[in-house]
């Protein structure tokens, strides 16, 4: 069924009884050409682009829980292309272009809202860094506007502009940045992949990865063995555990990142705003809740829940930036498991096992990368060569030291990225 305004009107008149299911729930077949481990945004996008762009439909996505139940549904929904380093900047620029046409391509409302992102700065040094980043973004073909103190005050009057410790000097404005509905992205890609013949198999946990003579042959699951010519590990914070089934040790650690949302409020925040003197970012959802987050919990963990000291730290940063937050009631919080690479940049590559691919190390950037990540991995799996926007995301860069992309400029401290 194609979604349209006419269908909404028609179904409303008939009691909404004629809607078809968004996707099937098939039993796993004994063998596929390609198996994708992980039914989150990246895995579903990969499956969709394999079918839509490369005509490969004998594909299965296997997910231990339900589709969209991992990090794709546990984030703060930000979409942006404001990266600085070559290798990253081209990739996220490509991703933003895919975002801009995604709803039309998928025939699905992912609620992509280009409301603009403003990264605040609070010192002369931060202003210089913002100007360099903005110039790099413009050279890449993206948009960036350096705002002065008065311009930010006019756009964001609700901030504490004259804070004694962290006065606001200005901001770097990225107008094409914004937000999208996280779970709708998963549902849209799932529906698109399913309609092209991809099997989406839920409640099917992978318990082993089979290989023979250096070549992958399939996976073991809680619903029986499934053979495959190619297998992709797209398991986000669980990537290390999945790779261990193939005898691999990945150069990542898993950390918890908390996010928070307040009760519904009248519209007050038009943009996405980030605090330059602490890791804090905030926007307002279409339901009215203020959605915000901050630093990692700073210890390795596979538990999708955070600790109170980090929650307190995030609240302190928010109150410093906009004291009005103290009047809002916190509705809920949640935690996502971040797969943190040593240089803060992702990995999309083949492994030493023929036919086995890996997509991981997304750090804070996983959600905004979903379209380009799936596009690039699908290209790699279909053509056996990396997509031009993801050539730098090699797995062996941590062995050779070549091509390290330290976007934050903080060295190999993945907890800081």
Q: Is residue 292 a contact partner of residue 259, using CB atoms and an 8 Å limit?
A: yes
Q: Is residue 414 a contact partner of residue 253, using CB atoms and an 8 Å limit?
A: yes
Q: How confident is the model at residue 411 (pLDDT cuts 50, 70, 90)?
A: low
Q: What is the pLDDT of residues 7-44, one digit of tens each?
A: 999 999 999 999 999 999 999 999 999 999 999 999 99
pLDDT on residue 414 = 55
What average pLDDT does this structure show over 255-272?
95
Class at the top of the CATH hierarchy for domain 115-177+253-341: alpha beta
Gap between the Cα atoms of 226 and 206, Å rounded: 10
In angstroms, the Cα distances linking 197 to 111, 205, 285, 357 are: 25, 21, 34, 22
Answer yes or no: is pLDDT of 415 > 60: no
Gap between the Cα atoms of 136 and 141, Å rounded: 9
Q: What is the pTM of this model?
A: 0.95
What average pLDDT does this structure show over 331-355?
94
Q: How confident is the model at residue 342 (pLDDT cuts 50, 70, 90)?
A: confident
Size (the chain), residues: 417
DSSP character string of 246-267: TT---SEEEEEEEEEEEEE--S
pLDDT on residue 416 = 58
DSSP state of 113: B
Q: Is residue 25 a contact partner of residue 202, using CB atoms and an 8 Å limit?
A: yes
Alpha helices (H) in 35-81, listed in sequence order = 41-54
Q: Is residue 75 a contact partner of residue 365, using CB atoms and an 8 Å limit?
A: no
Sequence ranges of the domains in the chain: 23-78+182-251+343-416, 115-177+253-341
Q: How confident is the model at residue 229 (pLDDT cuts 50, 70, 90)?
A: very high
pLDDT on residue 417 = 53
The four Cα atoms 400, 401, 407, 410 give a dihedral, to 10 degrees, of 130
Class at the top of the CATH hierarchy for domain 23-78+182-251+343-416: alpha beta
Q: How confident is the model at residue 286 (pLDDT cuts 50, 70, 90)?
A: very high
Q: What is the pLDDT of residues 175-197, one digit of tens each?
A: 999 999 999 999 999 999 999 99
Gap between the Cα atoms of 299 and 317, Å rounded: 20
């Amino acid at each position: 069924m194609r979604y349209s305004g006419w269908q909404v009107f028609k179904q409303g008149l008939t009691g909404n009884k004629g809607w078809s299911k968004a996707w099937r729930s098939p039993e796993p077949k004994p063998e596929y050409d390609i198996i994708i481990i992980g039914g989150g945004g990246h895995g579903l996008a990969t499956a969709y682009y394999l079918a839509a762009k490369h005509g490969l439909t004998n594909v299965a996505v296997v997910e231990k829980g339900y589709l969209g139940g991992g990090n794709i549904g546990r984030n703060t929904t930000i979409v942006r292309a404001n990266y600085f380093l070559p290798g990253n900047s081209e990739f996220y620029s490509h991703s933003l272009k895919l975002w801009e046409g995604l709803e039309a391509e998928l025939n699905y409302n992912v609620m992509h809202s280009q409301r603009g992102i403003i990264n605040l700065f609070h010192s002369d040094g931060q202003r210089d860094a913002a100007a360099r980043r903005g110039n790099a973004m413009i050279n890449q073909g993206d948009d960036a506007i350096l705002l002065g103190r008065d311009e930010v005050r006019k756009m964001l009057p609700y901030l504490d502009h004259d804070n004694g410790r962290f006065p606001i000097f200005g901001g770097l404005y990225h107008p094409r940045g914004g937000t999208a509905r996280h779970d709708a992205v998963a549902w849209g890609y799932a529906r698109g992949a399913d309609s092209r013949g991809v099997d989406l198999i839920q409640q099917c946990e992978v318990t082993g990865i089979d290989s023979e003579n250096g070549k992958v042959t399939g996976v073991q699951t809680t619903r029986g063995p499934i053979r495959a010519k190619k297998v992709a590990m797209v398991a986000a914070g669980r990537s290390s555990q999945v790779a261990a089934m193939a005898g691999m040790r990945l150069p990542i650690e898993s950390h918890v990142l908390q996010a928070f949302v307040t009760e519904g409020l009248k519209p007050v925040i038009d943009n996405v705003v980030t605090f330059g003197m602490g890791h804090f970012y905030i926007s307002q959802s279409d339901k009215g809740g203020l959605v915000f987050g901050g630093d990692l919990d700073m210890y390795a963990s596979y538990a999708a829940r955070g600790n109170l000291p980090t929650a307190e730290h995030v609240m302190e940063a928010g109150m410093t930036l906009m004291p009005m937050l103290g009047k809002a009631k916190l509705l809920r919080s949640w935690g996502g498991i971040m797969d943190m690479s040593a240089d803060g940049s992702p990995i999309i590559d083949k492994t030493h096992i023929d036919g086995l691919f890996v997509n991981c190390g997304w750090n804070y950037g996983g959600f905004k990368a979903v379209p380009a990540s799936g596009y690039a991995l699908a290209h790699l799996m279909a053509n056996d060569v990396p997509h031009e926007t993801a050539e730098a995301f090699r797995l062996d860069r941590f062995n050779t030291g070549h091509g390290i992309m330290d976007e934050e400029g903080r060295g190999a401290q993945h907890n800081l990225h």
